[in-house]
Amino acid sequence: MARQKGIIKLKGTIGDITFYKTKDGHLAREKGGVDASRIKNDPSFQRTRENNAEFGRAGKAGKILRTALRSLLINSADGKMVGRLTQAMVKVIQADMTSLRGLRNVIDGEAELLSGFEFNIQGKLGTSLFAPFVGAIDRVTGSITVDLDVFIPANMIVAPSGTTHYKIISAGAEIDFEEETFVEAHSETTILPWDAIPTVAISQINMVTPASTKPLFLALGLEFYQEVNGQMYSLKNGAYNPLSLVAVSGL
């Protein structure tokens, strides 16, 4: 892959060179690769087929998790989040110590490796929220909760320039990666002023299926707002809103 320079930027294919535009600029690469039928049937590509199968499984797992958390992700994800989540899912699958290569999966892997995953690298929860919180997953009751004691927003929330208000959001998700289904519940505070006045204690409860045997996830995030003439606007269209998986129970 090469980067195009000069005034005129090309798009399309000339000979064996393909020119295209990405978020990283105008690039060029040489056409090539192994014939698809050979990859599918040649014994020497067995490892490639196994890797492709597991990568595809990781992609599907990432998609169902994103779908479950869509109500929060609409305003809290960066442009490369999908790829980053797929790579994280690959690590979860590779932690499967019981299945054969090519058959490894999320259920037999280590879903807990997703704990701490940041959906927006432009605004990470770990560098935005410093108020102590307790996140908990109770499989018996199906209760996925987050609790924050009283705190001073201006001291404990690092907000982007222009912020006047904020909201705390959370979600609990129960994911069946085999059937590609989910149960999700989410909570949010009202829009609160980002000032030096202490908050009240905040408790959010997100209920999923009691006694579930599926992986459970707790996501926690912030949304920033700017007040203009009495109206609230999502700050910079949510570009700096953090959202993170703060607890995961893979069973």
pLDDT in tens, 41-70: 555 556 778 778 889 999 999 999 999 999
What is the DSSP secondary-structure string of 167-231?
Answer: EEEEEEEEEETTTTEEEEEEEEPPPEE-SSS----EEEEEE--TT--S-EEEEEEEEEEEEETTE
Reported pTM: 0.83
What is the DSSP secondary-structure string of 129-181?
Answer: B-S-EEEEEETTTTEEEEEE----HHHHB---TT--EEEEEEEEEEEETTTTE
Yes or no: say if 242 and 105 are a contact pair by the CB < 8 Å rule: no
What are the tokens at 2? 């090469």
**What's the mean pLDDT when you consider all of the chain?**
89
**pLDDT for 122-135, tens place per residue?**
999 999 999 999 99
Of residues 245, 221, 117, 217, the one with CA closest to residue 167: 221
pLDDT at position 51 is 76
pLDDT at position 251 is 77
pLDDT at position 34 is 55
pLDDT at position 53 is 85
Least confident window among 3-7, 104-108, 166-170, 234-238: 3-7
> How many Å separate Cα 101 from the centre of its chain?
26
* Cα separation, 63 vs 118, whole angstroms: 15
pLDDT at 18 over 70: yes
pLDDT at position 134 is 98
pLDDT at position 17 is 73
Query: For the packed helices 46-68 and 81-94, what is the interaxial angle rounded to 10 degrees?
Result: 120
